[in-house]
Amino acid sequence: MTALLSVRDLAVRMDTAHGPLTIVDGVSFDLDSGRVFGLAGESGSGKTITALALIGLLPSGSRTGGSAMLDGRDLLAMRGAPWRRTRGREVAMVFQDPMSSLHPMLTIERQLTEHLRHHFGMSGREARERGVRLLTDVRIPDPEAAMRGYPHQFSGGMRQRIQIAMGLACEPRILVADEPTTALDVTVQAGILRLLRGLCRERDLAVMLITHDLGVLSAVADSVTVMYAGRVVETGPTATVMRQARHPYTRALVDSLPHPEAADRALVPIGGEPAGPESRPDGCAFHPRCRYAQPSCRTAVPPLVPTGDGREMACPVDPLVARMGA
């Protein structure tokens, strides 16, 4: 089965106060319909910039490299009107903070339907009916009344559902969700995640879920790609990666998750700070914080190699082997 979206060697360079920097350095992945693809990493890893590159909303002064092929069209090479037609219609994005991502002075109806009417030329009545149906799909109570409301009248969880409804309005094939639950109460997060996965299956949607929280991904993602300092360090089916993380960074991330059954054990943090793009170390970017670092890690960037069980990993040192050997 060919992937819906094939991203190859995606690179993003930006002009900053520190000079031109490479924020994203050769990232490749595939998105499949009906599956949730998780992109994990700390802040500064470049995961949001990757998403913004796909949807074409990079800040000015950015340059992209590589390709993102959707139905034979390269999203990264598209400009102007064709790109605006794709944006919102075939590729939709949901952002982190629903309070600031929704316009405070426009009604929900307006925000839900304006791109519907623009892309499809729907009449006001048709668009309104569609909007009510969308709100029902995302489980907003009393959708007709909600249409007349304004964002500040809803709770955080509701606003995020409204944002998701907005993203789904034009029935896109890809939905990118950037930290959709980070700004929400823990009790509300589970509902949103369930909703996303349900919609993914029902509509045969490709969902790209970006987060720093591996716990979130373990709950809903079918596959996980871990990024560090602008590069992919490990990728594979969620269960496998979580259970047997092989890259030292992934290993450390998984270990640092609080586990309910290990409540008596101390939390294991990852030492050091994530390196920002302006101070990226040579060679493997993780080596200053890595337990298994070797001299070669300081000079050579480890390539991403398949490990045989559907995964790929970018580390010459296999922690499982190293542990067994030590």
Which residues of this protein are in contact with other proteins, per CB under 8 A? 14-17, 21, 23, 43-44, 46-49, 55, 57, 59, 61, 84-89, 92-93, 95-97, 99-106, 114-115, 118-119, 150, 152-159, 163, 166, 179, 182-185, 276-277
Closest CB 303 distance from other proteins, rounded Å: 23
Residue 108: CB atoms within 10 A of its CB come to: 27
Nearer to other proteins, 27 or 102 (CB): 102
Nearer to other proteins, 32 or 42 (CB): 42
Nearer to other proteins, 105 or 326 (CB): 105
Range 296-320 burial, b when 16+ CB lie within 10 A, else e: ebeeeebebeeeeeebbbbbebbbe
Nearer to other proteins, 280 or 307 (CB): 280
Is the Cα torsion angle 102, 106, 107, 112 positive or negative in sign?
Answer: negative
Closest CB 215 distance from other proteins, rounded Å: 14
Nearer to other proteins, 173 or 311 (CB): 173
C-alpha atoms less than 13 angstroms from C-alpha of 22 in its C-beta half-sphere: 16
- 3-class secondary structure, 296: helix
Nearer to other proteins, 63 or 323 (CB): 63
Q: What's the Cα-to-Cα distance from 326 to each of 319, 320, 322, rounded to whole Å?
A: 10, 10, 6
d(CA 41, CA 253): 9
Nearer to other proteins, 278 or 282 (CB): 278
Residue 271: CB atoms within 10 A of its CB come to: 10
Nearest residue to 176 (alpha-carbon basis) of 2, 8, 57, 299: 57
Question: What residues pair up with 225 in beta bridges, in sequence order?
Answer: 39, 235
d(CA 151, CA 155): 8
d(CA 25, CA 190): 32
Nearer to other proteins, 133 or 152 (CB): 152
Nearer to other proteins, 96 or 245 (CB): 96
Q: Identify whether the C-beta of residue 298 lies closer than 8 Å to the C-beta of residue 282.
A: yes
Closest CB 240 distance from other proteins, rounded Å: 27
Decide the pairing of beta strands 174-178 and 5-16.
Answer: unpaired
Closest CB 72 distance from other proteins, rounded Å: 20
Closest CB 10 distance from other proteins, rounded Å: 15
Q: Identify whether the C-beta of residue 221 lies closer than 8 Å to the C-beta of residue 39.
A: no
The position carrying tokens 């470049």 is 46
Nearest residue to 280 (alpha-carbon basis) of 214, 227, 210: 227
